[in-house]
Structure 1
Amino acid sequence: MTVKDGLGNTLASGITAFDENETGSGVLKGVGSAVPVVGAIQDYLYQANVVSFTGALSPTLNGSFAAGGYEVTVAAHVQLQVTSVTAVGSGFVATFKTIGGSAGLYYDSLAEGGFKSDTASGKGFDDGHLFGMFNVTPGGVSSFFSPTVGTGIGSAAFDFKVVGAVDGNYLTSSTGPVTGMNFSSNQSLPVGTSATTSFHNNSSNNFGDLFPTYAVGNNDMLLKVDGSTTFTTAVPEPSSYSLLLAGLGVFGFLARRRRSV
């Protein structure tokens, strides 16, 4: 994968994954400390900035906008349905399946005019240039969480399919168009450095407001989320392989013919 600045300049290439900040925040709306009910539908929100690119370096990633830095952020709203709940000591283990939702990838810099992301306030995660929009793939057990009083640990894994096309001025792949992304994370309580007062707090609204702002309430379960994102790309059709092999055959024939002359 290659990340660009929208102006034709390459910022990082040879990327295999986006490593999101361990201060990423997640929230299960309206859950609080109550035990989930099987069949209940929960709204899960997520936001984080990309802290590094796996396989490549970019010294200006997360640098000061004024000094030429930029950031890439991820914001998501996923709907989960509780599939099982098992009591364990003073806590429980709950599993969920994904039933809907979407995620956006954003690029922001001084030129884009957005607000540099800030975990505490929740601002700046969805106000950059939206260069990729994805819908979640429903089905399957996507996450689990095992909380006790005040502590807990869990994980989540969501697969997404691209909506339309990823803007090639910001993200490209040498193997073909980006068709989807795969998100996985560890999540835990207490929330620590991931504490935030709001999600999707679009302070500039310069590229539209895909996700409405949500103020965290006392009845929400706020989580520390350390996530990572990889991407899927289009596989060439069999006919494309046939044309490629035919082309190689022609080149081989010409090369042999030159040697025989």
Structure 2
Amino acid sequence: MTSMPRLPLLAAALLTVAPAWAATLYTLPAPTATLDTTVSVTANFAAGAGTGLIDFTLAGYATLDGDNGYIDILRVTLNGSEVFSGTWNLGGGGADRVLFNPNGATVGAVVNQQLTISLPVTLAAGSNQLVFSIDSPTSFEGSDRAGFQGLGDEGWGLNAATVTGATAPVPEPTSGALLLAGLGVFGWLAKRRR
């Protein structure tokens, strides 16, 4: 009979349609105040091992520079390793340029000195630490710029930041029992047909 080979295929199909649970692991409580370029923003959160997504909106104030003689570099690190960096004209001139993007982040256009970025990452099981910072060198060879400029000249902030992560499906006991009962019924029907 042809009903027996269908049973394992049906069981496999039922198991593959089990949803992957996605959870919001971190949300920035409110937009940050205007920060000077010596300040970083750190987010600590727990996650399951696997893929995740960091969505954030960077805001530039005054003359945050793109790629020019006064370059200011956004750096994003996850668990101590840089996962993204780039520079954008958020008020100070210069070219927009992604510098390091191994995970294929999606970078939007600069609108009203704001930039939205969606960054795929690999999360560790347990504790994770995410750090956003602006690297603003304090002096440039051959330029008249020396020392920290301060908020009177340039600043930055985060208007939004969210981390989501996929976790393994964990069926509730009643769901698992229903699945097993359903497979049992299919087995009984297959046996009865023979």
Report the TM-score range of the alignment, normalised by the length of the smaller protein. Answer: 0.3 to 0.5
Greater helix content: 2
Greater strand content: 1
Normalization by structure 2: what TM-score? Answer: 0.36
Normalization by structure 1: what TM-score? Answer: 0.29
Higher relative contact order (CA closer than 8 Å, sequence separation 6+): 2
